[in-house]
Amino acid sequence: MEETHYSTNEELQATVNELEEYQETVTDLAAERQRLCDEKQVLMGNLCSQTEKLEKCRAFADHLKSLLYDETIKTNFPERERHLAALLKQSQEEVQELRGSHEEATTKLHLATDRNKDSQGVIEALQDKAR
């Protein structure tokens, strides 16, 4: 009888220890999830900012193109054409750079979202297991 009682106590203590470990894991994963949510917010902000810059550069490039083509047709000012061509080239480079930044931010956002979903799944599984 005493041996059964001792064995039951050991099992209960092992179960309590396991539950404490699960609780620590849940706490750690919840903190990780929060960090990922914060990172996602920052990435969303960066993505929106980069998107706005990209749109502005596109509009500017289109404007410069129209100026370049209009001025070429109306007059033949080589200096002005060179200047407009340089501005056009510069704006196109900026657009390319912003597209790269936009793609990078989008990729990071998707990765953070995936990690967040994975963490949420693990948290839910551990919470179910702890119940």
CATH 3.30.1370 is held by the domain 2-130: no
Q: Binning pLDDT at 50, 70 and 90, where does residue 65 land? A: confident
Q: How far is CA 19 from CA 15, 77, 90, 122, 131, in A?
A: 6, 80, 61, 15, 9
Parse the chain into domains and list their residue ranges: 2-130
Distance CA 100, CA 108 (A): 12
CB 68 within 8 A of CB 85: yes
Per-residue pLDDT, 107: 92
pLDDT > 60? residue 72? no
Other Cβ atoms closer than 10 A to 83: 13
Confidence of residue 130 (pLDDT cuts 50, 70, 90): confident
Contact 38, 110 (CB under 8 A): no
77 or 88: whose pLDDT is higher?
A: 88
